A = this chain, B = another copy of it.
Amino acid sequence: MLIVMKTSATQQEVAAVVEFVETHDLRAHLSRGDERTVIGAIGDGRPVQREQFLHLAGVDRVVPISRPYKLASREFSPNDSSFPLDGVRIGEDPVVLIAGPCAVESRSQLLETAHAVREAGAHALRGGAYKPRTSPYSFQGLGEPGLELLAEAREQTGLPVVTEVMAPELVPLVVRYADVLQIGARNMQNYALLHAAGASQHPVLLKRGLMATIEELLMAAEYILSNGNRRVILCERGIRTFETSTRNTTDINAVPVLKSLTHLPVILDPSHSTGHWEYVSAVARAGIAAGADGLLVEVHPDPRAALSDGGQSLKPERFAELVTQVKAIAEAVGRSVAVKAEVV
Give A residues with C-beta under 8 Å from B: 2, 4, 6-8, 20, 29, 31-36, 38, 40, 42-44, 46, 49-56, 63, 65-66, 68-69, 75, 132-138, 140, 166-170, 186-187, 189-193, 209-211, 213-216, 219, 222-223, 226, 239-246, 249-257, 260, 273-279, 282-283, 285-291, 303-312, 325, 328-329, 331-333
Residue pair A283, B7 in contact (C-beta under 8 Å): no
Other than the given A6-B75, A288-B289, 20 more pairs (CB < 8 A) read A7-B75, A31-B42, A33-B42, A34-B44, A49-B138, A49-B308, A52-B310, A54-B311, A132-B191, A134-B219, A135-B219, A167-B169, A168-B169, A186-B190, A211-B211, A211-B240, A244-B244, A245-B257, A246-B257, A256-B282
Provided the pairs A260-B278, A277-B55 are in contact, do residues A285 and B34 lie with their beta carbons within 8 angstroms?
no
Residue pair B167, A285 in contact (C-beta under 8 Å): no
How many whole Å from A191's CB to the nearest CB in chain B? 5
- Docked CA distance A189–B170 (Å): 17
Residue pair A34, B40 in contact (C-beta under 8 Å): no
Q: Can you name 24 A-B residue pairings with CB atoms under 8 Å?
A: A2-B63, A4-B65, A8-B75, A31-B42, A34-B43, A49-B306, A49-B310, A52-B306, A52-B310, A55-B277, A55-B310, A132-B191, A166-B192, A168-B169, A169-B169, A187-B190, A214-B245, A239-B241, A239-B242, A239-B243, A239-B249, A241-B241, A245-B257, A250-B251
How many whole Å from A270's CB to the nearest CB in chain B? 9
Query: Residue A279 contacts which of B189, B244, B246, B253 (CB distance < 8 angstroms)?
Result: B253
- Residues of B near A210 (CB, < 8 A) are 211
- Docked CA distance A304–B54 (Å): 8
- Docked CA distance A282–B288 (Å): 9
Q: What is the count of identical protomers in the complex?
A: 4
- Residues of B near A54 (CB, < 8 A) are 276-277, 310-311
Query: CB-nearest residue of chain B relative to A333?
Result: B285
- Residues of B near A34 (CB, < 8 A) are 42-44
How many whole Å from A143's CB to the nearest CB in chain B? 12
- Docked CA distance A193–B168 (Å): 10
- Residues of B near A214 (CB, < 8 A) are 243, 245
Provided the pairs A136-B226, A168-B167 are in contact, do residues A52 and B291 lie with their beta carbons within 8 angstroms?
no
Query: CB-nearest residue of chain B relative to A226?
Result: B136
- Residues of B near A328 (CB, < 8 A) are 331-333
Provided the pairs A240-B242, A253-B274, A273-B253 are in contact, do residues A2 and B38 lie with their beta carbons within 8 angstroms?
yes
Query: Residue A223 contacts which of B136, B187, B211 (CB distance < 8 angstroms)?
Result: B136
